[in-house]
Structure 1
Amino acid sequence: MKPVLVPTNDVNSEHGIVVNWFVDDRGKVEAGALLVEVETSKAVLEVYAPEPGVVLHLVRQGTEVPLTEPVAMLFDSLSDLTAYSDRLAAEAEARAAAPGAARATVKAVQRAQELGVDLSTFDGSRLITVKDVEAAAGASQAEPATVDYSAMPAALATEPGVARILLIGGALGATQVIDIFSQVPTQQAVAIVDDDPGRWGTDVHGVPIVGGSDRLAALFAEGVFEAAVIAIGSSVDTRARFRNICAEAGIPLANAIDPTAKIATDVVIGQGNIICAFCHLGTGVRMGDNNFLSAYNSFDHHSVIGSDNATGPSCVSSGKVTVRDRVRLGTGIFLEPGVVLGDGVQVASGAVIVTSVPANHAVKTKVVTTTVVPRRS
């Protein structure tokens, strides 16, 4: 039995989504056969069989998985796989036979582990299915518990005339925005909200994390901040979701633009955009709302950038390029003149795009394996 892991050097992505299985569950494969594609925030990764065997899927298509966990197991034979599955089933039956234990299918037990659902909270009078587990997970997400924020640190004070900005997200994106504001005397980050409780009460470069995003409306109503910046660059869907949350609460979004950025005089920019160091927007460029441009991006003359997009460093376009909404670009991407990237497109690092890409498609690049050897003296 051998676990199959997702090979990646992307240190900025902790999770990926299984987008396509190429081998059926319990199917036989040869060494080097393509098993599955996993999409991260910067690339679509191809996972190959490290050796011949029979495949057991551990993750369903469309499911998000931590990149540190296996997506499949390889067995020498179907009988070995069957014995493993039978053992899991026996363990599940033993748990179900315990006094007061809930009865669940093997698939339901596996799905509960994926979603963090406690099976002991179910009514033990009937068999629990995958559908029951997923419904419980959805209900727990839709009805978050009330949190006591009384012990959270207070927001920072500002000098008169300085805009008070709240950051959404306390990870690496927050450090980039805070660095931009350190060079912009008219804006200051005064507080951060983040939905990871482990970050609450800490700070990012002196800016306190004061709780989760459920505090947004209340903090705004209290006058703690005047506008927000969504400091999340890893997920365009998350950026779009928080933009909608802010719009519903009447919270304006602010731009965070590094002073080193070169922006032509007739460029039109919406709200909530993060433009990092040494970016360039050529004459006639039109940009929507809530975009995150990493350092050294260049969009040349008369290009159009929609909303809720995010890029890695060093993405370069020629003139008259169109990037629609919720597009995710990796690092070091080149776009030829006139190219159109449709809604929801994802482009892997290192790609050169010479033709338009339709909505909800991904552009893959082969991950080149390099070898480190001792240097000759």
Structure 2
Amino acid sequence: MKPVLVPTNDVNSEHGIVVTWFVDDRDKVEAGALLVEVETSKAVLEVYAPEPGILLHLARKGQEVPLAEPVAMLFDDAAGLTAYSDRLAAEADARAAAPAEVRATVKAVERARELGVDLSTFDGSRLITVKDVEAAASAPVTVDYTTMPAALATEPGVSRILVIGGALGATQVIDIFSQVPTQQAVAILDDDPGRWGAEVAGVPIVGGTDRLAALFAAGVYDAAIIAIGTSVDTRARFRKLCAEAAIPLANAIDPTAKIATDVVIGQGNIICAFGHLGTGVRMGDNNFLSAYNSFDHHSVIGSDNATGPSCVSSGKVTLGDRIRLGTGIFIEPNVVLGDAVQVASGAVIVTSVPANHAVKTKVVTTTVVPRRSS
């Protein structure tokens, strides 16, 4: 018995949709045969048979599947396949007889993890949605923050920055501030209670984002920055919260970045190592540009966008708002990307993309073989 996994290096996608099966359930296949296509938020992935055998589908066309789990199984003979499928049927019968478990959409599970909401407290008789999770998170809850660590102290004249988000993006932002003598990260807010009291690169996580306004009013920090690069919608939501509380947003620009003298940059932008903004570029607010991004002359970048490393545009390119770019993307001159566009890693964009559309790329299996001795 051999599991068939979806090949992907996309750490930001945990699930995909089965698009097409090329081999029928329980048919024989040869090693290397194309079995199925699975679509993630960034790419269409082709899955090939790792060895010969009899194929058992573990998902139907159109079904959402976890990328960390097999999408199919391969068996040496029919007897092995029958025994395995009988076991799956018995397990399904046992689950049906057991008390109902909590059922939630994939996005609801992700949102619950982000907001620290316990899904087991919900009524298990219906499907839980993102709206349900957010309603639960906004319900009045009394949290004792007296045990949280205090924000860091700074030297006079140094701008004290509050970092929103305590995951990997925070490490990038804090590293930038460590090289900028006029700015210092003094505290982090994260809505995952499991992170509270911990540190990221020496900066304490002092609670959830419900403390944003109170800490600002108490004079704990001077400005905030949103260190979340995986969700443009989350970036936009926190920018709105800061605006409502009159909290200014700080820019974090790595000293290695090359910014032309006439570039106009808004607030809350993160420009990582070796970034480049050419002459005449206009950038809005709250963008997260990863390392080695280059937007050439007279390009326009909206607000609440996030990119992977090595995204490169020619001149006079326009990006709207809430755009998510993968890694290693090239954009030709005069191209316009509308609001909420998603672009898969490795894409070359030669024509404009309307709002709320996605640009996909196909990723095929790469075979690793031993080197031949010289």
Alignment of 1:26-105 (within 5 A): 32-39=34-41, 43-48=42-47, 50=49, 53-57=55-59, 67-70=67-70, 72-74=71-73, 83=86, 86-96=89-99, 104=100
Letter in 2 for 1:185: P
CA deviations on 1:22-57 (whole Å, 9 max, x unpaired) are 359x97787523342122xxx324253647645343
Once the two structures are TM-superposed, the CA of residue 253 in structure 1 deviates from its matched residue by 0.8
Corresponding residue for residue 223 of structure 2:
227
State the match for 2:270 in structure 1. 274
Please list the CA deviations of residues 198-236 of structure 1 after superposition, one character each: whole Å capped at 9, or x if unmatched: 322121221111112222122112111111011112222
Displacement of 1:67: 4.1
Partner of 1:364: 360
1:249 match = 245
Q: Of 366, 371, 374, which aligns to 2:371?
A: 374
**1: CA distance between counterparts of 2:276 and 2:177?**
19
Q: Which moved more, 1:355-364 or 1:45-54?
A: 45-54
- Other structure's SS at 2:194 match: helix
CA distance in structure 2 between the aligned counterparts of 1:130 and 1:318, rounded to whole angstroms: 50
Conserved in 2, the CA contact under 8 Å of 1:18 and 1:60?
no
Counterpart residue type for residue 146 of structure 2? S
Evaluate the alpha carbon distance shift between residue 135 and residue 242 of structure 1 in structure 2; reply closer, same or farther with a 3 A threshold: closer
Alignment of 1:253-268 (within 5 A): 253-268=249-264
CA distance, structure 1, for counterparts of residue 61 and residue 192 of structure 2 = 24
**Superposition pairs for residues 151-230 of structure 1, below 5 Å?**
151-230=147-226
> Contact 2:46–2:363 (CA<8 Å) still a contact in 1?
no
State the Cα RMSD in Å. 3.4
Gaps of 5+ in 1: 97-103, 123-127
Measured in 1, the distance between the counterparts of 2:323 and 2:252 equals 20
Distance change (3 Å), C-alpha of 1:364 and 1:267: same
Provide closer, same or farther for how the CA distance between residues 183 and 373 of structure 1 changes in structure 2, counting only shifts above 3 A. same
Aligned to 2:115: none
Map 1:106-121 to 2 at 5 A: 111=104, 115=109, 117-118=119-120
Q: Percent identity?
A: 66
Alignment-derived partner of residue 14 in structure 2: 16
SS of the equivalent of 1:220 reads helix
SS of aligned partner of 2:197: coil
Tell me if the contact between 1:38 and 1:47 (Cα under 8 Å) persists in the aligned partners: no
Counterpart Cα distance in 2 of 1:59 and 1:143:
38
Aligned length: 352
Provide the rounded CA distance (Å) in 2 between the counterparts of 1:111 and 1:289: 33
Q: Secondary structure at the match of 1:238?
A: helix
Compared CA separation, residues 27 and 342, structure 1 to 2 (3 A)? farther
Residue 32 of structure 1 aligns with an amino acid whose one-letter code is L
Distance 1:243 1:109, change over 3 A: closer
Aligned residue type for 1:329: L
- Give the structure-2-normalised TM-score: 0.81
Give the distance between the partners of 2:179 and 2:369, measured in 1 at CA. Answer: 40
1:186: how far off?
Answer: 1.4
- Per-residue CA deviations over 1:39-86 (Å, capped at 9, x if unaligned) read 2xxx3242536476453439976x6x764345x455889988985664
Q: Distance in 2 between matches of 1:147 and 1:59?
A: 45
TM-score by length of 1: 0.80
- Counterpart of 2:333 in structure 1 is 337
Q: Residue type matched to 2:20 in 1?
A: F
Q: Is the 8 A contact 2:19 2:61 kept in 1?
A: no
Once residues 117 and 261 of structure 1 are traced to their aligned partners in structure 2, the CA distance between those partners, rounded to angstroms, is 43
**Closer, same or farther in 2 for the Cα pair 1:117/1:157, shift >3 Å?**
closer
Distance 1:112 1:2 in 2: 29
Indicate the residue corresponding to 1:297 in structure 2. Answer: 293
CA shift in 2, pair 1:318/1:4, >3 Å:
same
- Gaps (5+ residues) in structure 2? 110-117
Distance 1:135 1:291, change over 3 A: closer
Structure 1 residues 296 and 373: alpha-carbon distance in aligned structure 2, compared to 1, 3 A threshold: same
Deviations 1:134-184 (A, max 9, x none): 886565444374332211110011112111100011222212211211222
Give the distance between the partners of 1:147 and 1:3, measured in 2 at CA. Answer: 45
| Counterpart-to-counterpart distance in 2, 1:137 and 1:84 | 34
